Structure 1
Amino acid sequence: MTPFCTVARDGAILVVTMNNPAKLNALVAHAHDEMAGIFNAFEADPELHVAILTGAGRAFCAGSDIAAYVAGTNRPLPPAGGGGLTHNTTLNKPVIAAINGLCMGGGFEIALACDILIADETASFALPEPRVGAAALGGGLIQLARKMPPSHAMKLALTGERIDAAEAYRLGLLAEVVPAGTVVDAAKAIAANMLKGSPLSLRITRRIMKLALAGASAEELDRVELELRAQSMASADFAEGMAAFMDKRRPVFAGK
Structure 2
Amino acid sequence: MTKKDITREIIGNVLIPMGFVSGENINSCWFIRKFKNSKGETARLVVEFYTRGWDKRLFMVINSYSGRCSSYGIEDIVPDSSENGFPCATLKEYKLAIEAYGDILKQYGRDFFKKISKPPLENDYFREEDDFRLFKEHDLLAQKFLTEHQLDISQIKAEDAIQIIKKIILEMQGESFEQCRNTILELSAFYGSVLGNRHKCRWVMHNCRTHFTCTLNFYSKSGPSLSLHKDISVAWKEGVDKLDSLIIDSL
TM-score w.r.t. length of structure 1: 0.21
TM-score w.r.t. length of structure 2: 0.21
Q: Whose Rg is larger?
A: 2
